[in-house]
Amino acid sequence: MTTADSAIIARATAWLGDSFDSDTRNRVQHLIEHEPEELTDSFYRHLEFGTGGLRGIMGVGTNRMNKYTVGMATQGLANYVLKAFPGINLKAAIAYDVRNNSRYFAEITAEVLSANGIEVYLFDDIRPTPLLSFAIRLLGCHTGVMVTASHNPKEYNGYKVYWNDGAQLVSPHDKNVIAEVQQISSPADVAFTAHQDLIHTIGEEIDNVYVASLKTLSLSPEINERFSHMKIVFTPIHGTGVHLVPRLLRAFGFNNIIPIPSQDMPDGNFPTVHSPNPEEPEALTLALKKAKEVNADIVLATDPDGDRVGVAVRDHHGEFVLLNGNQTATVIIYYLLTKWKEKGWLIGKEYIVKTIVTSELLIEMANKFGVESYDVLTGFKYIAEVIRNLEGKKKFIGGGEESYGYLVGDFSRDKDAVIACCIIAEAAAWAASQGKSFFEVLLDIYMEFGFYKEKLLSVTKKGKAGAEAIVALMERYRNNPPQRLAGTNVVGLKDYKLQQDKNLVSGSIKTIDLPTSDVLQFFLEDGSKITIRPSGTEPKIKFYFGIKGILTSKQEFDSINKRMEDRINRIIEDMKV
């Protein structure tokens, strides 16, 4: 039997001390004696507290989500909040999702924050992430924590940290919190003994304000009433959307909501799916089956923490198809812009926001409507940062990212699948009022603004050698950019690491006014865009392909779509991915 490294054994042995409970000590002793590989994985490093917080497999050890790693992270957060807001009665909100141990980790977080004199508002049951963001602002909190691992497998849990604007941490707070967390060297540094009088339970009263607020974002209540019978299949995939999504859909006027009973049961084991990720077709298998049985109009599926939504609609052949994140964002933004224009709300101070890897079609539409648009780095916290910086100056309409996250209105400051589901349903009703389907509206947009087709390719390169290969790949593309791709000239290069926007025809260089990030973008003379970005959380390098074509009629869609798919494949070949 293999044995663990001596340094790892020494680190594990420290967890046999009196600072740890008996269950933890017994489990660590078992790993030392019988499971060297698991011991190594559990203790070979400290679970990283990144810019978004914690995320990892649950279990004992420094590299696991457990009472002690959560407590140490929370102590570091408390230390920074106390420094950032000196002499103030501090408040924090905490919510949690359906995952195993989420309630337990939420309680640990509440206890540590209260032990540091911070007043805590802890939700009484599971809630979606956007409601935590909303509650922070509603209650005037200085920080907040959402216990979730989003759509990761069931073995994982996580911990996302929010600031007083209801958004996830951005600079300088992200780096400052990380620095404080790194100063906590052992559980002995953590104040675990709660001040119970500082911990308050919150629940339905917050839900009621949230639902009432989001209901005001409906743009076509009279159309919704006409199409209240529209068949909507909805699944929360065992997650937090189970109550609030149907409730808000009904508040919007939609009464024919068809559930998937087996997936309405909150369950951190996600028993009916391989992965609770609405980006993956398998996660919508049961919903699509039900949709076909009942002849539904639309399918909506939210992820475990209720911040992202997958959509399926009938295409021009009457068959259900899954929309990608860019397609859903396109129809959402087009619908919002159209209705705002009809209502006379576009007066020159409105804007949308998207991430740099999201379709350029959103910018094309905004330009046509005379609405300003902003591009930000990947991560919804950057969309929220724009909203915060422009608050009181300009009006946010909506925004989104290609990874199925959207926000309408600014009541929350994170992606919000609850309001997104309702606006998607409303857009479908609006389309029906014109004798069209949701998909036909998308085709109309393609005919008016250009046919934008996107594809994501993730390449996994594990281990030290893989990490080095990713670095080398980025440097190759950075230092030797392709001149032509699929027979089309590359005319622009944006290097977000060097913060340079290069015109490869004229040679001119502009400065990119965004934080540095190891991302490259190539722009082709036909309007196509290729983005290369190493993942910050996985051993992957991601290639985002967005190409632009012309669609003159709906009848041509299939042939043009196939031609564009072939074009993307030629670009992939040319880039030697």
Report which of 354, 356, 358 is spatially closest to residue 324, judged by C-alpha positions. 358
Asked, colleague to colleague, whether 45-202 and 210-434 share their fold, the answer is: yes
Average pLDDT over residues 414-432: 98
Antiparallel, parallel or unpaired: β 298-302 and 395-401? unpaired
Does residue 463 have a pLDDT over 80? no
In the chain, the largest separation of any two C-alpha atoms, in whole Å, equals 73
Residue with tokens 């196509």: 528
Residue ranges covered by each domain of the chain: 45-202, 210-434, 451-574
Identify the DSSP state of 116: T
Which tokens sit at 227?
């199409």
Average pLDDT over residues 513-525: 94
The kind and range of the H/E element at 121 are: strand 119-123
Q: Which of 1-16 are b and which e, b meaning 16 or more Cβ less than 10 Å from the residue's Cβ? A: eeebeeebbebbeebe
**Does 451-574 carry CATH code 3.30.310?**
yes
Report which of 485, 484, 453, 456 is spatially closest to residue 570, judged by C-alpha positions. 485
How many angstroms separate the CA atoms of 379 and 519, rounded? 13
**Catalytic site includes residue 403:** no
Does residue 50 have a pLDDT over 90? no
For 373, the 3-state DSSP assignment is: strand
Q: Around Cβ 308, how many Cβ atoms within 10 Å?
A: 27
Which tokens sit at 507?
């040679």
Report which of 528, 492, 536, 485 is spatially closest to residue 510, judged by C-alpha positions. 492
pLDDT at 3: 65
Q: Can you say how many angstroms the Cα of residue 230 is from the centroid of all Cα atoms in its chain?
A: 28
Average pLDDT over residues 394-422: 97
Residue pair 134/213 in contact (Cβ under 8 Å)? The answer is yes
The per-residue DSSP string of 263-317 comes to GSS--TT-TT-S---TTSGGGGHHHHHHHHHHT-SEEEEE-TTSSBEEEEEE-TT
Residue pair 30/48 in contact (Cβ under 8 Å)? The answer is no
At 433, the pLDDT band (50, 70, 90 cuts) reads very high
At 576, the pLDDT band (50, 70, 90 cuts) reads confident
Which residues are CB-contacts of 54 (< 8 A; sequence separation ≥ 6)?
47, 48, 65, 69, 70, 73, 158, 159
For 300, the 3-state DSSP assignment is: strand
- Sheet architecture: strand order including 156-163: 53-57, 156-163, 143-147, 91-96, 119-123, 199-202
Over the stretch 178-201, which tens digit does the pLDDT of each residue have? Answer: 999 999 989 999 999 999 999 999
Average pLDDT over residues 311-339: 97
How many angstroms separate the CA atoms of 447 and 365, rounded? 12
Does residue 286 have a pLDDT over 60? yes
Residues in the chain: 577
The Cα-based distances of 323 to 152, 331, 353, 375 in angstroms read: 21, 11, 20, 22
Amino acid at 411: F
The per-residue DSSP string of 181-235 comes to HHT--SGGGS--S--GGGEEEE-HHHHHHHHHHHHTT-S-HHHHHHTTT--EEEE
Of the candidates 150, 220, 403, 437, the residue annotated as catalytic is 150
How many angstroms separate the CA atoms of 130 and 133, rounded? 5
Average pLDDT over residues 62-81: 97
pLDDT at 501: 96
pLDDT at 577: 79
Q: Using alpha carbons only, give the angle 526, 528, 529 rounded to the nearest 5 degrees.
A: 145
Residue with tokens 């089309």: 488
**Does 45-202 carry CATH code 1.10.630.10?**
no
How many angstroms separate the CA atoms of 446 and 450, rounded? 5
Over the stretch 341-351, which tens digit does the pLDDT of each residue have? Answer: 999 999 999 99
The per-residue DSSP string of 33-56 comes to HH-HHHHHHHHSSPPP-BTTEEEE
**pTM for this prediction:** 0.95
DSSP H stretches of helix in 58-172:
67-84, 102-115, 129-139
Provide the CATH number for the domain formed by 210-434 in this structure: 3.40.120.10
At 1, the pLDDT band (50, 70, 90 cuts) reads very low
Report which of 24, 182, 198 is spatially closest to residue 111, judged by C-alpha positions. 198
Q: Which residues pair with 235 in a beta bridge?
A: 301
Over the stretch 7-39, which tens digit does the pLDDT of each residue have? Answer: 899 999 999 999 999 999 999 999 999 999 999
